[in-house]
Amino acid sequence: MRTLLAALLAHAPDRPAIRRAAVLTSYGSLAQTIALAADHLVTDFAVVSGARVAMLLEPGEDFVAVLFAIWRARAVAVVLSPLYPPRERAQLIADARATVIVASPGLASVARESAGDAISLYIFSPSSGRRTASAIDPLPLPALDDLALQMYTSGTTGRPKGVLLTHRQLDAQLGALAFAWAMSPEDSLLHVLPLHHIHGLSIALLNVVRVGGVVEMLPAFDAPAVLLAFARCSVFMGVPTMYARLLDALDALDDDARTLVTCSISAMRLCTSGSAALPVSLGERWAAYAGAYPLERFGMTEVGVAFSNPLRGKRIPGSVGKALPGVRMRVVSEDGSSAREGELLIAGPTVFEGYFERPVETAEAFQTLIDEGGEGDDGDEGGAHDEVLWFKTGDTVRLDADDRVQILGRTSVDILKSAGYKLSAIEIEEALRRHPRVRDAAVVGLPSETYGQVVAAAVMLKSGAALSVTELMTFMSNELASYKLPRIVRLVDDVPRNVLGKVLKRELAVLLAREPGADDSLA
């Protein structure tokens, strides 16, 4: 086992690492920038081991250099997204207790607006720092059990939680993936995922950097540009919504262009889908072009990828496959006994440390059970009476006769998945209630082939208040990231409730899914 930093520094310096537009950066060049930036962080920004350093940079070689420089300084990286409005970004920076924020020149003013004056701003340039590489005393390398990442994920409370991952856990996650997907230095990844979630950051980017492959980073997801880039790459990783967009763009091409793109897609070594259920119809449409069904796998911020269909062998549509090496799983019914259908529990070296400064939520997320001898895992025997600490995923699953996993949905109706993003209905409701003319709000996810779920909100105004949906959405865009915003908004007098006043969300979803009437408003 070794840290990702040790892996990167061991790659041949002249090997290409990151391709962005016409710029090609080698592993050697990255290593030099990492050393300079780490020295700058330690010397000029007083970053100490374990400090939280936030980063806000566009996709590209500078993003990668800053991430590894934070690790070189033995600090913990908190990746921020330009998609957040300042208020939300400021909350994350405060929650993370970040002392420094590293921003690209293009995002420096956005970073300053979110960070306030109490936090130091390091406007990154590859040559920033006072000393030359040769004058820098080598810093001690991070240890495997040092924290590496604090990744924010939405949960069943209003505030996103910081998921703590050590270098050891990251290496266990990526080691299992490298084995299952036969990752190699020959791989050339087409990268279009956002970098503030582990799909884009670790499952895609770091997975390939770890083995010394090359990553082509596009600035954003733009389906026609992505289709052209397939010709230069061998591995693609996406969420189902991206596959839907790519297929629509493929269908829209003229015959000659479609034939060319189809050739490059069918030459890909590996195309994976994850973060949300891949509709079988979408997978089959892709297979018709690519000659292979996308490799669907299941992951979570807290555990990395846990289950995967096989690289070689039959991929089962609608299934996320079997446990990766080292991942232990158990399925339990409501009374805690083992079952073929129920809540999915995961244990093993890939499971995260806990949620940052949330002892109660961390304790609630884990459950100790007497080991039943490694049921459904990769053969790890375990003593008959050993206690095992299991992470409760909150996903309901069914096991088939071969212990392949089928995801049936979330246990909580308040956790939504839209375009691959995990969203908290409660967080969105709280943001709606912050509008001074809103009395109450209820948020649900409505099924969608393209997005998995579309966020829908029923909003109740204060007595006598008037508010248009457009006004409300303008307010909301300053409260929450664009991908968390409701796409369907109805102004209503009340919502279905039980006798205790609790909102009946399943009934509300049925009502909101109906065609809008004359008195409804659509965002």
Nearest to 394 by CA among 344, 352, 331, 447: 344
Nearest to 40 by CA among 75, 5, 6: 75
Q: Does 421 bind ligand MCA (CB under 6 A)?
A: yes
Dist. CA 455–CA 444, nearest whole Å: 6
Q: Which does 410 bind (CB under 5 to 8 A by kind): ligand MCA, ligand AMP, none?
A: ligand AMP
Q: Which does 451 bind (CB under 5 to 8 A by kind): ligand AMP, ligand MCA, none?
A: ligand MCA
Q: Which does 395 bind (CB under 5 to 8 A by kind): ligand AMP, ligand MCA, none?
A: ligand AMP
Q: Is 108 left (phi over 0), alpha (psi -120 to 50) or beta?
A: alpha
Q: Does 162 bind ligand MCA (CB under 6 A)?
A: no
Q: Which of residues 235-254 bind ligand AMP (CB under 6 A)?
A: none
Considering the complex, state which of residue 38 and residue 77 has its C-beta at the smaller distance from ligand MCA: 77
Q: What track of x and - describes contact with ligand AMP for positions 306 through 345 (by CB under 6 A)?
A: --------------x-------------------------
Q: Which does 279 bind (CB under 5 to 8 A by kind): ligand AMP, ligand MCA, none?
A: none
> CB of residue 288 vs ligand MCA: minimum separation in angstroms?
21
Q: Does 198 bind ligand MCA (CB under 6 A)?
A: yes
Query: For residues 171 and 2, is the Cβ–Cβ distance under 8 A?
Result: yes
Q: Can you state the percent helix, strand and coil of the chain, rounding each to 5? A: 35, 30, 40
Query: For residues 174 and 4, is the Cβ–Cβ distance under 8 A?
Result: yes
Instruction: Write b or e for each residue in 311-341: b if 16 or more Cβ atoms lie within 10 A of its Cβ, otherwise e.
Output: eeeebbbebbbbbbbbbbbbbbeeeeeebee
Dist. CA 227–CA 28, nearest whole Å: 30
Considering the complex, state which of residue 111 and residue 347 has its C-beta at the smaller distance from ligand AMP: 347
**Considering Cα of 31, then 29, then 202, then 120, what sign does the dihedral take?**
positive
Total chain residues near ligand MCA (CB under 6 A): 26
Q: Which does 188 bind (CB under 5 to 8 A by kind): ligand MCA, ligand AMP, none?
A: none
Locate 111 and state its tokens.
Answer: 């970073």
Q: Does 193 bind ligand MCA (CB under 6 A)?
A: yes
Considering the complex, state which of residue 238 and residue 299 has its C-beta at the smaller distance from ligand AMP: 299
Q: Which of residues 434-463 bind ligand MCA (CB under 6 A)?
A: 451, 454
Locate 429 and state its tokens.
Answer: 């409701």
User: Which of the stretches 118-126, 221-229, 273-281, 363-371 binds ligand AMP when contact is defined by CB under 6 A?
Assistant: 273-281
Dist. CA 342–CA 362, nearest whole Å: 21
Q: Which residues bind ligand AMP (CB under 6 A)?
A: 153, 197, 274-277, 296, 298-301, 320, 393, 395, 407, 410, 417, 422
Contacts with ligand MCA, residue ranges (CB under 6 A): 193-194, 197-200, 203, 221, 239, 241-242, 274-275, 299-301, 418-422, 451, 454, 482-483, 487
